[in-house]
Structure 1
């Protein structure tokens, strides 16, 4: 599956986009800076997570393209890599 068709990536980005629109409204309304900063942090985390999903999907896709279907053992190892990327 192409990243262009990956519903997890698209949903994360669309949620972040909607959230960011609300933040723009908050700024226009002159809302509290602390509240706006907290909401901006949430958007940054959402975009960062979408990026992580995109990169991991890309790696898996090209591994399968190069080697064929990945065995369960390899997929489990990739899950470990995915888990540790949250600390990057």
Structure 2
């Protein structure tokens, strides 16, 4: 199922992908460890932000609206939320 946030998430992941490729090149070039650590931190941040947007979108649209519109039992939505929470 595609969500309105997916294009933004794809952009974020592509940006992280490019950043990661840059880090690999930096390692191969023998760049200083401080520079590498800073860039890896940026990659981690980009991935964390993409994950946050994905999870928030899922909670809002799939769990929240799904319970209201499809009549799913609250118990099922809670179980799905618990499974999702381990990725927060």
Alignment TM-score, normalising by the size of structure 2: 0.71
Q: Where has structure 1 moved over 6 Å in runs of 4 or more? A: none
Superposed, which structure 2 residues align to 1:1-88 within 5 Å?
2-3=2-3, 6-62=6-62, 63-68=64-69
> Which consecutive unaligned segments of at least 5 residues does structure 1 have?
69-87
The number of aligned residues is 69
Name stretches of at least 5 consecutive residues in structure 2 with no aligned partner: 70-87
Contact 1:9 1:54 in 2 (8 A): yes
1:71 corresponding residue in structure 2: none
The CA RMSD over aligned residues, in Å, is 2.0
Give the TM-score normalised by structure 1. 0.71
